[in-house]
Structures are given as C-alpha cells and as structure tokens.
Amino acid sequence: MARAVVLFGHGSRDPLWRLPMETVATRLRTMRPDTLVRCAFLELDAPSLPAAVADLVTAGAVQVTVVPMFLGTGRHAREDLPALVEQLRGAHPQVEFVLQKPVGEDGRVLDLIAKIALE
C-alpha cells in the first residue's frame, strides 16, 4: 500500500520557478524513500495534477496527499484545487485523497519566514 505526496503549485513558463518545489520533492524522497513524490501544476507547466496522480496510481499509490505550495489562500487554493481533488476522487475511487491547507497557513512556515526576514 503505497503512500504518495503531490506538491502542487501554480506553474510558470520560467523553468527556474520550479527549483524550490523540486528541491522540496528531493528532500521528501530522502526523508521518506518509501513515499512516492511528484510535483504538479495548475497551469503553464507540466505535469497537471490529474497526470501526476495517474502516474502515482499506476505506481501503486492508494493514498495521495496534495500539498498546496501557496503562501496565501487565494482563489486557486480555495476553489480550483478542491474542485480538482473532487474530480480525482471520482476518477480514482480506490484512492484516498488528503488535501492539506496551503503551506503558508502553517505557523511554522510563517515563523521561519519571519526569522529569515530578520537575518
């Protein structure tokens, strides 16, 4: 029973924009080699969330946690992403989907940003 994590971002045409998310994905793989990890994007980049999830399901994932890599909870995190996850639940009823809050809503992230700003 494979567990998976999808780091979900907005996407950009600039390939350098992906680097922080890919770095987090690499760190996750190092920390939890038994967890499948993918990055996915809403637009302007690939793979899309449905494509990343299809890949994970093919690889044996039965639980997928989607982590919105947003500092704030704008329309994409509040409306678009939950709708996408509902579509995925319909397309993959055998998979448990967990949608986390955007990382920017976690006090630990906000504390770290404040500490960095004070350096």
Q: Tally the domains of the chain.
A: 1
Segment 74-108, tens digit of pLDDT: 787 788 899 999 999 999 999 999 999 999 999 99
The CATH number of the domain holding residue 71 is 3.40.50.1400
pLDDT at 20 over 90: yes
DSSP secondary structure, 53-119, as one string: HHHHHHTTEEEEEEEE--SS--HIIIIIHHHHHHHHHHH-TTSEEEEPPPGGG-HHHHHHHHHHHH-
- Mean pLDDT for the stretch of residues 56-71: 96
Q: What confidence score (pLDDT) does residue 77 get?
A: 79
- pLDDT band at residue 55 under the 50/70/90 scheme: very high
- Mean pLDDT for the stretch of residues 9-28: 93
Give the structural domain span for 41.
2-118
Average pLDDT, the chain: 94
Of all residues in the chain, what percent carry a pLDDT higher than 90?
A: 79
pLDDT at 64 over 90: yes
Instruction: Provide the token pair at 107.
Output: 């006090």
Check: CB of residue 81 under 8 Å from CB of residue 41.
no
